Chain A
């Protein structure tokens, strides 16, 4: 979406590539010890980009729904990045409370003042249309990288439905970055599973599931995780893998809720914590063991 918007305005957008060891190490070195893995990766990407471009566009996501927040670290992201990249120009795109996604005041002043109102409006509309199409694809059950390929490169939408389905929940930045999560999705596919992620469900369905809670959750992403978990219980998946980042604040509490739900519904749940020291071997072993358990459960239920 941002790429469309910026190119429409005549900027050249440089998007950072896939995460690699180099970015992660740079981020880990630059960041405070206690921040969570996604922030370290983000800082690593920002550092890599500073050498390629003149300005960084960084979102300040305070809140995307009424009455909820994303996470304190997202709110302080621009400041943390400024600390790391030094004197580089940082543009902040801010999303305040009750602020629509493509609204004008959210844009950084550097962009807002440089172009005419009509031109910005038009680009925003175009970008928003792309964004909607992207989300439509996600809700049809495509993973983000597939959806991006369909949108930008015109690849044929193609999906394989397998009869064995496994749920994968967690924050989007943990789920869809094959470097951070050591390619969990690929691994599960190789075992013949179809992966269901929280982004496949429409917000309306997730909201309906959240009514069981005594007090509404005030983190949007945690809401999505919890709602998606309850939906997955109903979708007859074989098991659920929960990927969370070490030292992620909301997840420490949500994990407790999800554990209780899993116990109540009898769904197998594997909770994996990710950090920069995760080794692939340990990770794969645990997932394989989990899959073995699922196979065994299935065999026993067949007999």
Chain B
């Protein structure tokens, strides 16, 4: 079957590998562009959040290219992501498209739908080959995230940013094409050598800024105006806790990687003792982490009307005051323009530079951080792993 899926950052690379490995034909939607925004905004409900609109635009563009099926994840709420697929199916059917929707629901929800999707996905190839495809896709996800971390580290330190960007894009393409698990490491080495060769001889102090917020907005560079590149070229090192592999580890393989959830709960409990859906709690946890590690600032990115992030946004002032950590909140929707974002980023970076130049003794915390709780018997523990 010709299957398509929504974009989210580098997600298309492993998913393409997986689908092709499973004997399907992956139809990657064209990279998110102006037309995607327009199509999405035109056919979506007005109040829906930006990821919903972009996903819809991606689907329409992929269906125009001849996709027959859509692969999408589901969720249990209370974030709206869990109900995206239902509404999107209704809208696309009203527009007259013919397609089959394969929904990967979490285990706590509609199992019938999940089992059907898995059966359809797997039925073309024997089980060992399916497993091999899954393994290759997962390895690619891990290497992509590592490559991205490397690139984020080297970009503000490089002599020629455009050259660094170019070698990073070559790396992405190489990973996309690669079919052998053992060769992924080689590409990573090559990227490292290239970035190393591009280093500036001397660098003064570098600001370190963490990007937090809603996962889609953080990971999708075409929606957040290439935030990481912009900051990198301003000479700011971008730190990011949220990544694709981390999400998969936390939400799909939570049983094998319990430390992600424990860390989130431990860090966010003093400020937000309850689960609020989506990435609300993770946002607060990442921010506390940035404060504890004495980073220079934090940028929160959220789509307009995102419910969990709004809750987090109302709590950020408390975290900010406790750790003396400046925050910039960027609310993005389909009307946001690049110039406005750049101006705000520049102003924020200027403020951070000035703050850094002042002696540290002047910025003593006004409030002392509340003690982090050792016992993890808190509200969030009772909930099943939320998706989305």
Choose, from A1-9, A29-37, A137-145, A231-239, the stretch at the interface: A29-37
Q: Does B166 contact A (CB under 8 A)?
A: no
Give the Cβ gap from A103 to chain B, nearest Cβ, in Å.
Answer: 14
| Docked complex Cα distance between A35 and B331 (Å) | 12
Per-residue interface assignment for chain A, residues 144 to 165, with 1 indicating a CB less than 8 Å from any chain B CB and 0 otherwise: 0000000000000000000000
Q: Which residues of A contact B48 (CB under 8 A)?
A: 252-253
Give the Cβ gap from A98 to chain B, nearest Cβ, in Å.
Answer: 9
Q: Does B266 contact A (CB under 8 A)?
A: no
Residues of A47-101 contacting chain B, CB below 8 A:
60, 62, 67-73, 75-76, 78-80, 82-83, 94, 96-97
Q: Which residues of B contact A78 (CB under 8 A)?
A: 274
Residues of B97-152 contacting chain A, CB below 8 A:
109-110, 113
Per-residue interface assignment for chain B, residues 304 to 332, with 1 indicating a CB less than 8 Å from any chain A CB and 0 otherwise: 11111011111101100000000000010
Interchain CB contact under 8 A, A255 and B311: no
Q: Does A260 contact B (CB under 8 A)?
A: yes
| Docked complex Cα distance between A35 and B276 (Å) | 14
Q: Does B76 contact A (CB under 8 A)?
A: yes
| Docked complex Cα distance between A83 and B306 (Å) | 19
Give the Cβ gap from A64 to chain B, nearest Cβ, in Å.
Answer: 12
| Docked complex Cα distance between A69 and B276 (Å) | 10
Beyond A71-B78, A83-B314, A249-B307, whether A76 also contacts B90 by CB under 8 A is no
Q: Which residues of B contact A70 (CB under 8 A)?
A: 78
Per-residue interface assignment for chain B, residues 30 to 67, with 1 indicating a CB less than 8 Å from any chain A CB and 0 otherwise: 00000000000000011111000000000000000000
Give the Cβ gap from B241 to chain A, nearest Cβ, in Å.
Answer: 20
User: Of all chain B residues, which has the CB nearest A43?
Assistant: B314
Q: Does B272 contact A (CB under 8 A)?
A: yes
Give the Cβ gap from A105 to chain B, nearest Cβ, in Å.
Answer: 11
| Docked complex Cα distance between A99 and B63 (Å) | 45
Q: Which residues of A contact B382 (CB under 8 A)?
A: 96-97
Q: Which residues of A contact B82 (CB under 8 A)?
A: 218
Interface size on A, residues (CB 8 A): 41
Q: Which of A73, A218, A246, A253 contacts B311 (CB 8 A)?
A: A73
Beyond A34-B305, A252-B80, A255-B45, whether A96 also contacts B379 by CB under 8 A is yes
Interchain CB contact under 8 A, A252 and B46: yes
Q: Does A247 contact B (CB under 8 A)?
A: yes
| Docked complex Cα distance between A260 and B45 (Å) | 12
| Docked complex Cα distance between A78 and B315 (Å) | 11
Q: Which residues of A contact B383 (CB under 8 A)?
A: 97
Q: Which residues of B contact A31 (CB under 8 A)?
A: 314
Interchain CB contact under 8 A, B79 and A72: yes
Q: Does B271 contact A (CB under 8 A)?
A: yes
Interchain CB contact under 8 A, A75 and B90: no
Give the Cβ gap from B58 to chain A, nearest Cβ, in Å.
Answer: 18
Q: Does A268 contact B (CB under 8 A)?
A: no
Give the Cβ gap from B9 to chain A, nearest Cβ, in Å.
Answer: 23
Per-residue interface assignment for chain B, residues 136 to 173, with 1 indicating a CB less than 8 Å from any chain A CB and 0 otherwise: 00000000000000000000000000000000000000
Give the Cβ gap from B113 to chain A, nearest Cβ, in Å.
Answer: 8
| Docked complex Cα distance between A97 and B126 (Å) | 41
Q: Which residues of A contact B336 (CB under 8 A)?
A: none
B-side interface size class: 35 or more
Q: Which of A79, A213, A256, A260 contacts B314 (CB 8 A)?
A: A79
User: Of all chain A residues, which has the CB nearest B313?
Assistant: A32
| Docked complex Cα distance between A188 and B319 (Å) | 47
User: Of all chain A residues, which has the CB nearest B311?
Assistant: A76
Q: Does B91 contact A (CB under 8 A)?
A: yes
Interchain CB contact under 8 A, A73 and B307: yes
| Docked complex Cα distance between A75 and B94 (Å) | 35
Most central of A67, A71, A255, A256 by chain B CB within 10 Å: A256
Q: Does A199 contact B (CB under 8 A)?
A: no
Interchain CB contact under 8 A, B110 and A79: no
| Docked complex Cα distance between A94 and B378 (Å) | 12
Beyond A62-B379, A252-B48, A252-B80, whether A75 also contacts B311 by CB under 8 A is yes
Residues of A23-49 contacting chain B, CB below 8 A:
31-32, 34-35
Interchain CB contact under 8 A, B78 and A69: yes
| Docked complex Cα distance between A80 and B317 (Å) | 10
Q: Does B275 contact A (CB under 8 A)?
A: yes
Beyond A218-B76, A219-B78, whether A73 also contacts B47 by CB under 8 A is no
Give the Cβ gap from B62 to chain A, nearest Cβ, in Å.
Answer: 21
Q: Which residues of B contact A214 (CB under 8 A)?
A: 86
Q: Does B6 contact A (CB under 8 A)?
A: no
Q: Does B83 contact A (CB under 8 A)?
A: yes
Interchain CB contact under 8 A, A249 and B314: no
| Docked complex Cα distance between A75 and B280 (Å) | 11
Given A83-B315, A256-B45, 8 additional A-B pairs, CB 8 A: A32-B314, A69-B77, A75-B275, A80-B311, A83-B317, A213-B86, A215-B83, A215-B85
A-B contact pairs, 21 of them (CB 8 A): A35-B310, A62-B274, A68-B77, A72-B79, A72-B277, A76-B280, A78-B274, A79-B314, A83-B318, A215-B110, A217-B83, A218-B82, A247-B47, A249-B47, A252-B46, A252-B47, A252-B80, A252-B305, A255-B47, A256-B45, A256-B90
**Nearest 9 interchain pairs by C-beta:** A252-B47, A76-B311, A218-B77, A69-B78, A72-B307, A249-B307, A72-B277, A80-B314, A75-B276
